[in-house]
């Protein structure tokens, strides 16, 4: 067994690897950037090495510094986690050439599966069914559009070197193709340094089915059954589960056997995932499931596979990298119960899922189920990296029980403040009838966004509970259930003025009539502000304090500010240009995603303070639009 291990990653996955390594008696070394100097994975590791400034390209993507850190600390092996350099064949080879153990597949396997077009051709030769599309080398835009026209719309443009939804665009009509291609290429070049794309037929009732495979250096390959990752937003997985609902034995045998053949075709070692797309218009059928791609690394959603099989996949990785055979044969692997994972992100669904950065002044995560996280209360969410806070993983004897358990946990916790999370969005998505019935498709969230995004303003009954608990003489203990009536309140019942309290939540102010408030139950956390929870969604309340009568400042005034630190990747307008409501003004790249900033109303660009490639700070004025009837 490997005796010392450097984890070339950060956050949740670094902490996850450290936990298994610690159990096995393996010494761990963490690496960190400026932004992560005091991060949880740094605190957990036996030793930590600083590798550069906060931007990933200057730290976590610097393979040379990571290898130097391994040598300097005497680490025998490097575990890449997921993301960053985990699927970089050149880095894997450099690790091996440095005399270190690479905890992952062989570089040749990564190269074989790293380019989607070449991988699909290889899969066809191995007898694995693939999705119809164009995999050619000719990248001329006119040729790509011609192929898309021939395939028939809708189609998907996908980055050849892509993953995680980056460089992927759906195109529903020919007149949308050119803009979508430009955007996909730009994002692909930024994310992977490679702007080449392929074209695929878009499946109208798609489900995302993937199979966990594992190989060793002795020629053994097994699968650990399938996962369903169909609940996605912008091609990013939101909730994953195992096994896939509605998967019968015959279809499972067909898809898992295809996955094993795919892994064998590239002499695969270590953990990998074969991703398939299924046309679920008539349920899951073996003849309607096609290979999409292979991820040559451990997946974010691997915990659900661990929960139903009882296996530790990181331990498997370390044993295989040490030269051991797979811990189990195929006949020894079975499915027990059902597992679901929900990804808790630092983002605000009510504001278009904009990432939320800052210090986690309050953070209360579920305690009764598995939670994989890379942060604790008091840590900060940085604008430089993926905004994941934690993964909430539940396991139960049946799928129905697993769904109920997840909803129960999200209803009580997590609570985060002032950093916003998507917990309320996760609750509503998991509670949707389509998810409960197991018939969800990858298109669900795009077509039901209004149903699953929590309202920005708190529900009416919550205002009354907040008002009672915010009374000046009303002590509120953190995280304590409270009702409006459980204690003495100094109200003068014959004085209408004393029975009224103005409180604020966000930009909304209400005057509450304390005498007529209804009874009810709420969960309160903190005093100023007070935090209250409604089906996973946290709302903040405070006593209203007027700050003058000046006019408000924001989008309704036409001033578009940077919602977070980032880089301007495209400017679509010029100063003095007339624009229409909803028209894209510029594109900001931040938190590994592109964000379109649009005109709030018809008008004219009066100020333009952005240029392509410029780095901007949160709150920086980028564009000012004046209405048609207002002078600039």
3-state secondary structure of 572: coil
Write the DSSP symbol of residue 49: E
3-state secondary structure of 341: strand
CB 31 within 8 A of CB 7: yes
**Locus of tokens 């811990």:** 327
Alpha helices in 152-269 (DSSP H): 177-192, 249-265
Instruction: Retrieve residue 8's tokens.
Output: 């070339």
Task: Report d(CA 375, CA 15) in Å as an integer.
Answer: 9
Task: Report d(CA 311, CA 313) in Å as an integer.
Answer: 6
Q: Which residues contact 175 (CB under 8 A, 6 or more apart)?
A: none
Task: Report d(CA 415, CA 375) in Å as an integer.
Answer: 13
Write the DSSP symbol of residue 608: E
Catalytic residue (one of 111, 297, 413, 420): 297
Cα-based distances in Å from 275 to 6, 395, 549: 28, 23, 57
Cα-based distances in Å from 443 to 98, 157, 505: 45, 16, 33
Query: 9: exposed, middle or buried (C-beta count within 10 Å: 0-12, 13-18, 19+)?
Result: buried
Q: How many CB atoms lie under 10 A from the CB of residue 454?
A: 22
- The DSSP element (H or E) to which 265 belongs, if any, is helix 249-265
Please give the torsion angle defined by the CA atoms of residues 479, 482, 487 and 491, in that order, rounded to the nearest 10 degrees: 110
Distance of CA 96 to the CA centre of its chain: 31
3-state secondary structure of 321: helix
Q: Which residues contact 447 (CB under 8 A, 6 or more apart)?
A: none
3-state secondary structure of 63: helix
Q: Say what angle helices 302-309 and 313-321 make with each other, to 10 degrees.
A: 100
Whether 297 is catalytic: yes
Going across the sheet that includes 370-373, the strands are: 289-295, 270-279, 206-215, 221-233, 236-242, 338-345, 388-396, 370-373
- The DSSP element (H or E) to which 214 belongs, if any, is strand 206-215
Which positions are annotated as active-site residues?
297
């Amino acid at each position: 067994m490997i005796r010392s291990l450097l984890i070339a990653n950060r956050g949740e996955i670094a902490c996850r690897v450290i936990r298994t390594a610690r159990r096995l008696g393996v010494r761990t070394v963490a690496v960190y950037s400026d932004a992560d100097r005091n991060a949880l994975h740094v605190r957990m590791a036996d030793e930590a090495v600083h590798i550069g400034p906060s931007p990933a390209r200057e730290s976590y993507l610097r393979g040379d510094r990571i290898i130097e850190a391994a040598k300097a600390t005497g680490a025998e092996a490097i575990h890449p986690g997921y993301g960053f350099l985990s699927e970089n064949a050149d880095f894997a080879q450099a690790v091996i050439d440095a005399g270190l153990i690479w905890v992952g597949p062989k570089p040749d396997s990564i190269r074989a599966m790293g380019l989607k077009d070449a991988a699909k051709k290889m899969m066809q030769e191995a007898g694995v069914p693939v999705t119809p599309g164009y995999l050619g080398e000719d990248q001329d835009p006119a040729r790509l559009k011609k192929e898309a026209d021939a395939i028939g719309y809708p189609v998907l443009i996908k980055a050849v070197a892509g993953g995680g939804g980056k460089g992927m665009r759906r195109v529903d009509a020919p007149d949308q193709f050119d803009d979508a291609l430009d955007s996909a290429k730009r994002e692909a070049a930024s994310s992977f340094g490679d702007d080449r794309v392929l074209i695929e037929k878009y499946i109208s009732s798609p489900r995302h089915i993937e199979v966990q495979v594992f190989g060793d250096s002795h020629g053994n390959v097994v699968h650990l059954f399938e996962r369903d990752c169909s609940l996605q937003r912008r091609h990013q997985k939101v909730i994953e589960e195992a096994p896939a609902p509605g998967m019968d034995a015959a279809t499972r045998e067909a898809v898992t056997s295809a996955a094993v053949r795919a892994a064998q075709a590239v002499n695969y070692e270590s953990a990998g995932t074969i991703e398939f797309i299924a046309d679920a218009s008539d349920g899951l059928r073996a003849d309607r499931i096609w290979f999409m791609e292979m991820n040559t690394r451990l997946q974010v959603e691997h915990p659900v596979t661990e929960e139903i099989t009882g296996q530790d996949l990181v331990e498997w990785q370390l044993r295989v990298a040490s030269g051991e055979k797979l811990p189990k044969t195929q006949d020894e692997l079975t499915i027990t119960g059902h597992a679901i994972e929900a990804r808790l992100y630092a983002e605000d669904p009510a504001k278009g899922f904009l990432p939320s950065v800052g210090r986690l002044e309050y953070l209360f995560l579920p305690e009764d189920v598995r939670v994989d996280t890379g942060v604790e209360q008091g840590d900060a969410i940085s604008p430089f990296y993926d905004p994941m806070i934690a993964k909430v993983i539940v396991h139960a004897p049946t799928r129905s029980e697993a769904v109920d358990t997840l909803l129960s946990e999200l209803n009580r916790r997590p609570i985060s403040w002032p950093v916003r999370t998507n917990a309320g969005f996760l609750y509503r998505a998991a509670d949707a009838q389509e998810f409960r019935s197991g018939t969800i498709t990858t298109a669900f969230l795009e077509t039901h966004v209004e149903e699953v995004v929590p309202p920005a303003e708190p529900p009416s009954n919550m205002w009354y509970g907040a008002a009672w608990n915010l009374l000046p003489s009303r002590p509120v203990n953190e995280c304590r259930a409270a009702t409006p009536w459980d204690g003495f309140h100094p109200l003068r019942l014959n004085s209408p003025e004393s029975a009224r309290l103005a409180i604020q939540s966000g930009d909304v102010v209400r005057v509450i009539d304390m005498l007529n408030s209804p009874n009810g139950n709420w969960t309160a956390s903190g005093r100023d502000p007070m935090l209250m929870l409604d089906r996973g969604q946290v709302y903040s309340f405070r006593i209203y304090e007027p700050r003058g009568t000046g006019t408000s400042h924001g989008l309704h005034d036409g001033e578009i500010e940077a919602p977070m630190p980032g880089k301007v990747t495209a400017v679509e307008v010029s100063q003095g240009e007339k624009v229409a409501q909803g028209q894209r003004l510029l594109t900001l790249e931040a938190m590994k995603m592109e964000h379109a900033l649009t005109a709030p109303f018809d008008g004219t660009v009066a100020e333009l303070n952005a240029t392509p490639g410029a780095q901007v700070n949160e709150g920086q004025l980028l564009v000012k639009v004046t209405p048609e009837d207002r002078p600039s």
